[in-house]
């Protein structure tokens, strides 16, 4: 169900007040195991399942190490799963078959709602440690009258990472309109540099031009999310169709790297850091990953919100952090151990452990958590949007509807296989199925 106006205001206010850290926007998963640190006393052992990206594993491993070193009676072991649509299905399969780890990380917002929380997840509403969690996050892991998760990382911005050295070399300014963005792209291409990096080898990355454009959709039509949830607004119509058209336009103009079809996210970040590619539509949770790629990367890469039609309305599309959940199959001592681990995640010690594992890249959503000095340039760029309140929550935090095939459709649109209009139409059909499964009126 879509958040009411009061709920949206609370979410925005919480994000603005939050400060900055990491998000788990990553899509999906499949299991490859990894080991965790030892350190807990003999007693109950529980497993913590996360996706296998560095952005997920590094802070998760640091959390596990810190917890096991300071808590007796419970030992946490880390297990990983791959990213992507297949892995997303594995999460759902594990829940359906009763084979889920005692604690697992997954998306918040609409994707969490699709897990049927009342059936599959343990409610945390009345747990004392939930008082540490900001209300803005709770709204993204609430279903019915219950809250089901604690935040892993922090809020994240969706937009464009850019190489500041390339911009300085070519005399470019950060664009606030799409026309300015495309004009910059022409100059970048003329200099022999790939203007826009795309990495469809990791299909989830293909969605950013569409998803990060949502703040521009709401600027044009503030009630679009409510109408979308009620079945009264479609992607095939304006203003939302523009999001698909922008993806199509960049491909048609020849502004993408030649290996876009096979390149992986890590390769895209390397292109950005090296300056062989100038801009990368991306979520800011990757800041820690690229900062480790060179001694100067954290200072060389900046960030700006995806430009729209009106410079005065240029806002950030903001993602709430992913959540950490307990499945209903965790019982007895394992359930109590899982709750103890979640209490640690939702504490200042938990935030500090995550910071030790990976450079923060967005506001932590746990009360009292602070960030270190000397953060990367992109984090400081991102912070300005939160400080100014110049943002809109991403659609998945305003509506429970997100079709599972968006990343496949955006790969086709971004590759020139499918037109923007046809891709938008197919996505409308995709979300219709989910809306009907959720029993939403108007579908």
Are 178 and 324 contained in the same domain?
Answer: no
Are 175 and 299 contained in the same domain?
Answer: yes
* Average pLDDT over every residue of 35-48: 63
The CATH number of residue 402's host domain is 3.40.190.10
Q: How confident is the model at residue 202 (pLDDT cuts 50, 70, 90)?
A: very high
Q: What is the pLDDT of residue 1?
A: 40
Are 68 and 210 contained in the same domain?
Answer: no
Residue 4 falls within a domain, yes or no? Answer: no
Q: What is the pLDDT of residue 7?
A: 46
Residue 419 falls within a domain, yes or no? Answer: yes
Q: What is the pLDDT of residue 28?
A: 33
Structure tokens that stand for 62 in this block: 């640091």
Spatial separation of the C-alpha atoms in residues 163 and 297, rounded to whole Å: 9
Question: To the nearest whole number, what is the mean pLDDT of the chain?
Answer: 89
Q: What is the pLDDT of residue 18?
A: 45
Are 325 and 313 contained in the same domain?
Answer: no
Task: Compute the residue count for the chain.
Answer: 443
Q: What are the φ/ψ torsions at residue 406 (nearest 5 degrees)?
A: -60, -45
Residue 25 falls within a domain, yes or no? Answer: yes
Are 344 and 195 contained in the same domain?
Answer: no
Are 263 and 410 contained in the same domain?
Answer: yes
Q: What is the pLDDT of residue 425?
A: 98
Spatial separation of the C-alpha atoms in residues 383 and 188, rounded to whole Å: 27
Residue 336 falls within a domain, yes or no? Answer: yes
Are 297 and 413 contained in the same domain?
Answer: yes
Are 168 and 197 contained in the same domain?
Answer: yes
Residue 109, CB half-sphere, CA atoms under 13 Å: how many? Answer: 24
Sheet holding 31-33, edge to edge: 31-33, 74-81, 44-51, 103-106, 322-325, 150-152
Residue 382 falls within a domain, yes or no? Answer: no
Q: Is the pLDDT of residue 2 over 70?
A: no
Dihedral through CA 23, CA 26, CA 30, CA 33, nearest 10?
-30
Are 124 and 215 contained in the same domain?
Answer: no
Residue-wise pLDDT tens digits, 260-315: 999 999 999 999 999 999 999 999 989 989 999 999 999 999 999 999 999 999 99
Residue-wise pLDDT tens digits, 153-163: 988 999 999 99
Residue 308 falls within a domain, yes or no? Answer: yes
DSSP lists the bridge partners of residue 391 as 316
* Average pLDDT over every residue of 52-61: 92
Residue 1 falls within a domain, yes or no? Answer: no
Are 128 and 183 contained in the same domain?
Answer: no
Are 47 and 144 contained in the same domain?
Answer: yes
Are 134 and 177 contained in the same domain?
Answer: no
Residue 3 falls within a domain, yes or no? Answer: no
> In this predicted model, which residue has the larger pLDDT, 386 or 17?
386
Which domain covers residue 254, as residue numbers? 157-318+395-437
Work out how many domains the chain is built from and give that number. Answer: 2
CB 49 within 8 A of CB 93: no
> In this predicted model, which residue has the larger pLDDT, 104 or 360?
104
Q: Is the pLDDT of residue 41 over 80?
A: no
Spatial separation of the C-alpha atoms in residues 110 and 113, rounded to whole Å: 5
Q: Is the pLDDT of residue 415 over 90?
A: yes
Residue-wise pLDDT tens digits, 4-27: 444 444 454 455 444 443 333 333
Q: Which residues contact 95 (CB under 8 A, 6 or more apart)?
A: 115, 120, 327
- What Rg value do the Cα atoms of the chain yield, rounded? 21
DSSP lists the bridge partners of residue 319 as 156
Q: What is the pLDDT of residue 24?
A: 36
Q: What is the pLDDT of residue 30?
A: 31
Q: Is the pLDDT of residue 361 over 70?
A: yes
């Amino acid at each position: 169900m879509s958040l009411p106006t009061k709920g949206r205001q609370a979410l925005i206010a919480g994000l603005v007040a939050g400060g900055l850290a990491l998000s788990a926007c990553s899509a999906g998963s499949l299991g490859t195991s990894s080991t965790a640190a030892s350190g807990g006393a003999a007693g109950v052992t529980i497993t913590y399942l996360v996706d296998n990206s560095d952005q997920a594993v590094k802070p998760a491993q640091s959390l596990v190490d810190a917890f096991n070193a300071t808590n007796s009676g419970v030992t946490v072991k880390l297990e990983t799963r791959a990213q992507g649509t297949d892995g997303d299905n594995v999460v759902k399969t594990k829940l359906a078959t009763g084979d889920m780890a005692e604690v697992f990380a997954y998306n918040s917002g609409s994707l969490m709602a699709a897990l049927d929380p009342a059936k599959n997840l343990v409610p945390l509403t009345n747990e004392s440690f939930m008082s540490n969690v900001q209300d803005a996050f709770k709204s993204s892991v609430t279903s019915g009258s219950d809250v089901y998760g604690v935040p892993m990382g922090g809020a994240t911005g969706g937009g464009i990472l850019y190489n500041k050295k390339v911009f300085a070399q070519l005399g470019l300014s950060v664009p606030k309109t799409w026309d300015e963005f495309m004009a910059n792209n022409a100059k970048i291409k003329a200099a022999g540099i790939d203007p826009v990096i795309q990495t469809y080898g990791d299909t989830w990355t293909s969605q950013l031009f569409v998803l990060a454009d949502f703040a521009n959709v709401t600027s044009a039509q503030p009630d679009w999310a409510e109408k979308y949830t009620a079945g009264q607004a479609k992607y095939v119509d304006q203003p939302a169709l523009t999001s698909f058209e922008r993806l199509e336009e960049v491909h048609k103009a020849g502004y993408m790297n030649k290996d876009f079809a096979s390149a992986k996210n890590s390769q895209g970040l390397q292109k950005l850091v090296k300056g062989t590619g100038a801009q990368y539509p991306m979520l800011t949770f990757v800041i820690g990953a690229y900062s480790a790629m060179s001694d100067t990367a954290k200072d060389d890469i900046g960030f700006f919100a995806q430009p729209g039609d009106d410079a005065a309305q240029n806002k950030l599309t903001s993602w709430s952090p992913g959540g950490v959940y307990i499945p209903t199959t965790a019982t007895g001592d394992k359930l109590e151990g899982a709750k103890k681990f979640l209490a640690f995640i939702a504490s200042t010690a938990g935030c500090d452990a995550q910071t030790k594992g990976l450079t923060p890249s967005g506001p932590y959503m746990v009360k009292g958590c602070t960030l270190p000095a000397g953060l990367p340039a992109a984090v400081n760029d991102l912070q300005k949007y939160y400080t100014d309140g110049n943002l809109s929550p991403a659609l998945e935090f305003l509506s429970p509807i997100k079709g599972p095939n968006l990343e496949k459709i955006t790969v086709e649109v971004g590759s020139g296989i499918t037109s923007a209009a046809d891709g938008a139409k197919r996505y409308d059909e995709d979300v219709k199925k989910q809306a009907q499964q959720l029993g939403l009126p108007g579908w």
